[in-house]
Every structure is written in C-alpha cells, then in structure tokens.
Chains A and B, each alone.
Chain A
C-alpha cells in the first residue's frame, strides 16, 4: 500500500468522481447551504469530519462483524443507524467538551444524518472492495471534493443571486443551470488524474 496509490484515490475522489458534481450525492446541502461562504465552509468541514468517522466505524463493522457472520444483507440498516447514532454522539460530545467547536459545527450536524453523501461513501467503500487505508483515503477525498464544490458554488451563487434571471428561471432553476456549467467544467478533470498518478 504505497503512498502514491492513496494519493491517487484522494485526487480521483476530489476531481474525477466529485461526489456532488459527478455522482449527485449530497445535492440537498449543495443547493440549500451554499448561499453564504462561511456556512458552506462550516457544513463541508462537518461533512468531512463525519465521513471520516463513519468510515472508521462502518468499515470494521462490515468486515469483522457482518461479513464473517453472513449478515452482509443488514448493511443498509446497520450503516444508517451507525451514522445517525454517531452524529448524535458527536453532537453531545462536542457540546460538553469543546463548546467552541460545537458552536461552529453544531447546527450543521443534524443535517448530516440524512445527507446521502455520508451513507454513499460508506457503502461505496465496501462495494469497491477498498482496504481500511484506502477507505479512509477515499472518504477524505470525497469530503474534500464536497468542500471544493460547496466553496466554488458559494462564489457562483453570490453572482447569480444579484443577477436578473427570466421570471420562470428565478430561484432554483437558475441555480441548477449554473450547477450544470460547473459540472461541465469538472468534466475536464477526467483523465488528468489518471495520467498524473495512475
């Protein structure tokens, strides 16, 4: 397991398989919380944090608990419960011991349980057959990709908000169309990462 391979996984997850723009996971927060840059940043950091934590917990559960006992079919139920419990636990712990961090991230945490990006990354790690290190790298890259998309789009949003769109395109439709242009821009990364690290 060399470092280059892990770097390749991270880079591929950030640019080529960007969770928001290429895999359509986590669209709700992408459209909902990307209006202001500081909120977008806070949400993304909370997502990276929960993704890493969720992978660190769900990967051993799948490989040491469910698979050896032939209970792989419980994956969906167990994973979503683990994520929900984990988010609650993180919220309580932060509130008690690191109130400053809780103040910064706390409000985003309840939104993350039903964020499909978190469940998506844990399930994909298993279906791709990644090792523990690879899974962690993939989760980190995916979170980072989410962060990148959110921050870029927050910038785009501040411009579209102040523009005059045609009546029926106001609000959500124009946001989606600008997301489409951003997604098209990310198409350009296909192939670049393979050539650099592959």
Chain B
C-alpha cells in the first residue's frame, strides 16, 4: 500500500493532476517556449530541476519557515536554484540559453514551482516532495513536448530541427506565431476535458492551486 502511494505521488503529475492541462499552472512558459521541440525540452528540463531541488529544500525547511513570511522565503529558495540552473545552461548549452532568453530567469515566477511549494512541499516529507517534483516536472515536460511537436510539425514542417518531407511543403506558419500558441493550447485543454468527460472542472484559471488564491478570492468577493 505504501509503495502504491509513492507511485501515485510520482505518476499523478503526468495525467491526473497534469500541471499545465489540468491545474492550468505555468501557462506563460508553456505558450512561449513551445514553438520548437528543442526549446520545449530544454525549458521542461530546466524547470524540472528547479522544481525538484526547491521541493526538497522547502520540505526540509518546512518546520523552520514561519507561516507569515513563507511566500517570500519560497521565492528566495526558488530564485537561488533558478540562478544555478541559469549559469549551468549558459556554461554548457549556450545555444539553449539564447533560445530561451528571458524565459529562463522567469522560471522564478513559474506558478507550477511556487504552487507545488505551497500545496505540497510545505506539508510533506522530503522524499514525497522530491517524487512530486519529478512527477510534476515530467508532466510539464511531456505536455510542452507534445504541444511543441504539434506546433513545429504543422507550423514549420520539422521536428527537433529535422525537416519532414510532406509537412515542410504544406505548413501553417501561424501556428509558430503567438496566436497559434493560444489556439493549440486551447484545443489541448478542450481535448483533455473531453477525454476526462468533464470530470476535471475548469474554472477560468487554475485558481485552486495558485499561490495567489487568497488575494484573488478577495477580489471575486468584492465583485
């Protein structure tokens, strides 16, 4: 049973609680870096490393961090790991560093990472938190890759930079543009809703898992 729980923690990020399509977190990097498969995988791996490290670290510190200043503390931890990843990418994969540009430092404000810190790592032990990080990171990377595949194959007629015979003659360039990003993402969310038969209820955004939920709820009440 215990083994099962561990496995569940690991796998639910991939489908049942997919951070992008079900929890609707981290929309900005998803839309921005899914123009080509190589940047999507790069972004996915970078975010996963930060997610795993910050989950473990925050879980270790969960009893020390006072409740009232927890969000700033989480942000500092996450920003630290993002800087580390940023320097590693710049040193070893300079091409990816240029391709990701501003979106690499922006992993700091990726809601997936802060959201998991707040929802999971602050309440569970380091091992579970690490597994959660791996699962969520995999879910994020997989979704990004699938979306990038759709956009790159149909939009620029190639996959991972390799030109494909049929698609390179008949491509739809708008899919690589921002408009195509919104469209493909909308269709994927709709597809997931269709497959799960509406078991997953979407509000306009993934408010239940957003670290800003409290402030937002106040806003909704005023309206």
Contacts and interface: CB of A to CB of B under 8 A. Distances in A.
B127 interface: no
Interface string A163-194: 00011111111111101110110110000000
B108 A107 contact: no
A143 interface: no
A42 B183 CA distance: 28
Of B79, B83, B185, chain A has the most CB atoms within 10 Å of the CB of: B79
A119 B109 CA distance: 8
B189 A176 contact: yes
A183 B182 contact: yes
B53 interface: no
B15 interface: no
Interface stretch (B41-49, B139-147, B152-160, B213-221): B213-221
B60 interface: no
B210 A28 contact: yes
Given A32-B207, A74-B83, A80-B109, A176 B186 contact: yes
A171 B204 contact: yes
Given A27-B28, A80-B108, A84-B72, A171 B202 contact: yes
B207 to A, nearest CB: 7
Interface string B167-205: 000000010011111110111011101100010001111
Contacts of B114: 114
Contact of B182 (A111, A127, A176): A176
Nearest to A190: B177
Interface residues of A, number: 55
Contacts of A172: 24, 186, 189, 202-205
Contacts of A26: 28
A28 B83 contact: no
A89 B148 CA distance: 40
A176 B31 CA distance: 11
B82 interface: yes
B108 A27 contact: no
Contacts of B9: none
B65 interface: no
A187 B177 contact: yes
B211 to A, nearest CB: 7
Contact of A24 (B24, B28, B205, B222): B28
Contacts of A32: 204-205, 207, 216
Given A22-B178, A180-B182, A110 B212 contact: yes
A127 B86 CA distance: 14
B106 interface: yes
A3 interface: no
Contact of A76 (B82, B177, B186, B210): B82
Contact of A114 (B32, B109, B203): B109
Interface of A: 21-28, 31-33, 35-36, 39, 73-77, 79-81, 84, 107-108, 110-111, 113-116, 119-120, 123-124, 127, 166-177, 179-181, 183-184, 186-187
Given A28-B210, A39-B219, A114-B111, 10 more contacts: A32-B204, A33-B219, A73-B86, A120-B102, A171-B204, A176-B183, A177-B182, A177-B187, A180-B181, A183-B178
